Chains A and B, each alone.
Chain A
Amino acid sequence: MQTKYQTKPFECWQKAKELRLKQWRDIASAREHNKLLTTGFCVGVAPVVMGLGDDVEFMACEPLAASTLPDVAYTTQCFEAVEARGFARDLCGYARAYWGNVFTNRLPMGGEFPRFDFIFERHWCDTLVKQLQVVSEYQGVPYHCIDFPIGPAEGERLELKVKYVTAQLHRGIEWMEKTTGHTWDDEKFIQAFKNEVLSRTLWAEALYVNKAIPAPMDQKSMYPFFAITMMMPWKQESVDFHRALLDEVRDRAAHGIAAVPSERYRLIHEQIPPWHFLRLFRILENYGVVAMGSHHTILIPGDFRETEEELVPAVVPPQFNTGFKNREEALQVYARWYLESPLDKFYLSAQDRSRLITKFARTWKVNGVILPINRGCTFGGMGILETKLALREIGIPSVEYEANLVDPRDFDAARVMDIIETFLDGQGLKPLAE
């Protein structure tokens, strides 16, 4: 293959693998070590639970689903187990992958599916709260949610939301104390919150450095790394890992070390990847195309804030340096942090999504965008077709394909590649010579 830039494997890759395995082991052995085990959304739930002390483990929902999906045979067994219980095949793919593990009593990395002591969730996506309602009933374990309503959050409305969420957090803490018999410790929460925010802002920093041409990191190399941001961001090991990753990305950018040595075209493959068809990114490479990420690798694991033109890494709350006056202030800062995130806006409306996608395109200097209409996630599809119109206005070409990015039975790889390769051809790109 023709190469323009030098490349080399990421040194952090091995460390990321070790951390992922350790996290799964910590979850699987929680009971053996007399630890409490709970589960919930991968963003912003764990710090609240960690207030209960060091003897708590948290299984983030989305990494379990994502770890399940690349194995087509295993995934199909999971989905069939869910369908045998009467659930529809067009339900959220991540929910079905998660349930499949629960119903077949196993984990993709081996061993039985663990029983939770309680389930603590924040309502953000409607699907997630219903998904875990079913799990709580199946396992017979108590369930509590904090509502972060999706909706406008500017000015006075943001303040109302902060007050609403904070009040619920106080109640949620009482509920956890009563349910577990543990005392909730402000300092444990604050440390976990700081670690999570640091992990997420460091990830954002690494992506921001990734603006460099050639891009030091491409979409497929992001997945093993951002799994740490998704699975265990509240842990000190995660912060340390993200610092090391940022250093490495900076070093690669400084020395012109590319993720894709033939880089000549940058695109966004929006949404989650087709987990059962990650080969897609290798095929793109063969065209000299580097995939720069998607909202799934940018906004879900990363804490960004918007400027007029682009996205920039968020600055941590000042209280991280000055200290929190009391629990009330700590909870308010926590609530505000997530409510102000562009992540919420992304799922709110076509207008917000369009604005953010055009900022992705500007920030990472992309030439084109692939917009998968993912049948496996209605929440994530909010306004995606409208973004095509917005991209057109700023002169960025895009192409959409409809498929289920989660369910291999509803994904026609040949058809998808036909669409993408036709698009690339239209962009003047031919496969590079071997």
Chain B
Amino acid sequence: MQRFREIIEKRHDYAREWKARTGGKALGYFCTYVPEEIIYAAGVLPLRVLGSHEPQDVTERYMGSMYCPFARDVLAQGLKGKYDYLDGVAIATPCVHMRVAYSSWENHVPTPYKYYLNMPGKVQSPEAKPYLAAELALFKKSLEEWIGKPIGNEALDKAIEVYNTNRRLMRQIYDLRRQSKPSLTGAEAMEIVLSGMLMDKEEHNRLLADVLKKLPIEGTRDGIRLMLIGSENDDVEMVRLTESLGGMVVIDELCTGSRYFWNEVVPEQDRLLAIAARYIDRPACPIKDYESRRRWTHITQLAKDYQVQGVILMQQKFCDPHEFDIPPLMAMLKEKLNIPSLFLESDVTIPAGQFRTRIEAFLETFQNT
């Protein structure tokens, strides 16, 4: 477990070392709809650009304060030169907050390669897959021009296999949390997912396989079984705090959690169509979850599979994609699943301790029933 934490804490050192070791390029992405498989097949290290949770004052000239603190924190990292080793950045039509951050990054951070991938908004449309596959072909072509060599089917197949292996291993890790007494904490699980976004997936796979060998199926941990839902959230401290108060985060529905790895690429002859299908069919971000509410179905299933007793909805301040979904979601949890929920609005720089009282009160309600 220590290694996963080290990767998160020393993410920039890791990426620099990886570049020095392999001679390869590194590409930062702003949203998990960017198809990492194609980047990986190009021999480039894809890594998610995350914030620092430190107060900053460098984005005010470029981004209004009504944009989410996570997005501003991401831009701040670029402006402060923390990602000066990146050779490229990419987005795939994310929420407007991340688009604003990306746009200012393009203007003010001298990253050499930049790519905006058109990702369909309506993933429920049957037309979305072929459209995305065609867009992926253009992305692949652009990457090929950038790296100066073609990306062959063999490389794509290998990348798909590496990523699918990672997803299978992550699902096994998450399966351990279904147990009545899980052998790993929610904070540990979050660190495992986050580290995977920041490192070479083959290496991550080896670490996962090793951890899976060591972790017993049944553990000793106990507590109120919680699901964490919300905006981009890499706040491991918050999870640690919740678990120190008697909660046990057994599952999440986060893009920094299960949504990132939940489904695999189903291999088919047309590799790009197969990759497109994976990103279209993945558990959706709220802005892509229309007309019907597929998130509700997915969350309901997770709640059942992980025997969830309560839900913590943690939303980044000003995150309107989640602001649209949270009231009807809380109603659905209460009325259809009889699961109580706690809503917390966060800012990446707010110390987790400020939520202590509210989380304690929420957890106490379970002891009274």
Set of chain A residues within 8 Å of B321, measured between Cβ atoms: 126, 130
Q: Is the CB of A87 within 8 A of B66?
A: no
Cβ–Cβ contact A378 & B96, under 8 A: yes
Is A386 touching B62 in the complex (CB atoms < 8 A)? Answer: yes
Pick from A56-64, A164-172, A249-257, A324-332 the stretch touching chain B: A164-172
Please, which residues of chain A bring their CB within 8 A of the CB of B330? 86
Tell whether A145 is near chain B: CB-to-CB under 8 Å.
yes
Residues of B within 8 A of A164 (CB): 120, 127, 130-131
The residues of A that contact B331 with a CB separation of less than 8 Å are 86
B138 contacts A383, C-beta separation under 8 Å: no
B56 at the A/B interface (Cβ < 8 Å)?
A: no
B64 engages A381 (CB within 8 Å): yes
Given contacts A160-B135, A381-B100, A382-B96, contact A87 B323 (CB under 8 A): yes
Given A383-B104, A385-B62, A129 contacting B67 (CB threshold 8 A): no
- B335 an interface residue at 8 Å Cβ cutoff? no
A129–B328 alpha-carbon span in the complex (Å): 15
Which residues of chain B are near A87, meaning CB under 8 Å? 323-324, 327
Distance of A381 Cα from B71 Cα, bound (Å):
14
The answer to whether the Cβ of A85 comes within 8 Å of any Cβ in the partner chain is yes
Instruction: Report whether A86 and B96 are in contact in the complex, using a CB–CB cutoff of 8 Å.
Output: no
A90 lies within 8 A of B323 (CB): yes
Query: Which residues from chain A contact B120 at a C-beta distance below 8 Å?
Result: 147, 149, 164
Q: Which residue among A130, A136, A143, A161 has the maximum number of chain B CB atoms within 10 Å of its CB? A: A130
Q: Does A150 contact B (CB under 8 A)?
A: yes
Q: Is the CB of A137 within 8 A of B131?
A: no
Mask, B59-70, CB within 8 Å of A = 1, is: 001111111000
Tell me which residues across on chain B come within 8 A of A144, comparing CB atoms.
291
Residue picked from B61, B120, B324, most chain A C-beta under 10 Å: B324
Determine whether the beta carbon of B100 is less than 8 Å from that of A382: yes
A130 to B285, CA, bound (A): 12
Interface centre among B103, B126, B286 (most CB of A within 10 A): B103
Contact A152–B61 (Cβ < 8 Å): no
Contacting B at CB under 8 A, from A61-95, are 85-88, 90-92
The CA-CA distance from A384 to B66 in the complex, in Å, is: 12
A133 to chain B, nearest CB (A): 5
A349 touches B (CB below 8 Å): yes
The interface on chain B, measured as residues whose beta carbon lies within 8 A of the other chain's beta carbons, has a size of 50
Contact A147 B103 (CB under 8 A): no
Determine whether B121 belongs to the interface, using a CB cutoff of 8 Å to chain A. Answer: yes
A160 to B, closest residue via Cβ: B134
Closest approach, in angstroms, between the C-beta of B77 and any C-beta of chain A? 18
Interchain CB contact (< 8 A) of B291 among A133, A150, A156, A389: A133
B232 → A minimal CB distance (Å): 15
Contact yes or no, B320 A151, CB < 8 A: no
Contacts of B244 on A, CB cut-off 8 Å? none
A157/B290 contact (C-beta < 8 A), A130-B324, A151-B93, A386-B107 known = no
A129 proximity list for chain B (CB < 8 A): 121-122, 290
Q: A164 CA to B97 CA in the complex, in Å?
A: 25
Quick one: given A149-B119, A382-B100, are A167 and B127 in contact (CB under 8 Å)? yes
Chain B positions 336-350 with a Cβ under 8 Å from a chain A Cβ = none
1/0 per position for A369-391, CB-CB distance to B under 8 A? Answer: 00001010011011111100100
> Cβ of A350 and Cβ of B131 under 8 Å apart?
no
A7 at the interface (CB under 8 A from B): no
Interface membership of B128, Cβ < 8 A: yes
B66 and A378 contact, CB distance less than 8 A: yes
Closest-CB distance, A399 to chain B (whole angstroms): 14
Contacts of A168 in B (CB 8 A): 122, 125, 127
- Return chain B residues, CB-CB under 8 Å to A349: 99, 103, 106, 116
Most buried by B among A152, A375, A378, A379: A378
Q: Which B138-158 residues have C-beta < 8 A from chain A? A: 138
Q: Are A161 and B326 in contact (CB under 8 A)?
A: no
Least distance between B124 CB and chain A CB atoms (Å): 9
The answer, yes or no, to whether A127 is at the interface (CB within 8 Å) is yes
A402 within 8 A of B: yes
Complex contacts, B286 vs chain A, CB 8 Å: 130
Bound Cα distance A385, B135 (Å): 30
Q: Which residues of A contact B95 (CB under 8 A)?
A: 126
Which of A87, A123, A157 has most B Cβ within 10 Å?
A123
By a CB distance below 8 angstroms, the chain A residues around B107 are 350-351, 386
A residues in contact with B106, CB < 8 Å = 349-351
Contact B287 A373 (CB under 8 A): no
Q: Which residues on the B side are within 8 Å of A385 (C-beta)?
A: 61-64
B102, closest chain A residue (CB) = A349
Q: Is A134 close to B, CB under 8 A?
A: yes
* A384:B64 contact, CB within 8 angstroms: yes
Residues of A near B317 (CB, < 8 A) are 90
Of chain B, the residue at the smallest CB distance from A90 is B318
Q: A126 vs B95: C-alpha distance in the bound complex, in angstroms?
A: 8
Q: Does B118 contact A (CB under 8 A)?
A: yes
Write out the residue numbers on chain A whose beta carbons fall within 8 Å of the beta carbon of B134.
Answer: 160
CB distance from A404 to the nearest CB of B (A): 9
In the complex, per-residue mask of B278-316: 1 if CB is within 8 Å of any chain A CB, else 0: 000000001100110100000000000000000000000
A136–B324 Cα gap in the complex (Å)?
14
- Contact (Cβ within 8 A) B122 A147: yes
**A350 and B104 contacting across the interface, CB-CB below 8 Å:** yes
Q: What residues of B have a CB within 8 angstroms of the CB of A373 in the complex? A: 64-66
Cβ contact of A379, chosen from B96, B117, B127, cutoff 8 A: B96
**Could you list 17 A-B pairs, sorted by A, with CB under 8 Å?**
A129-B290, A130-B287, A130-B290, A143-B291, A151-B93, A152-B118, A157-B138, A171-B125, A350-B103, A373-B64, A381-B67, A381-B100, A383-B103, A386-B62, A386-B104, A386-B107, A402-B65
Known: A156-B138, A171-B126, A349-B103. 4 other contacts (CB 8 A): A86-B331, A129-B121, A147-B127, A152-B116
Q: Lowest 3 A-B CB distances belong to which pairs? A: A86-B327, A147-B122, A151-B118
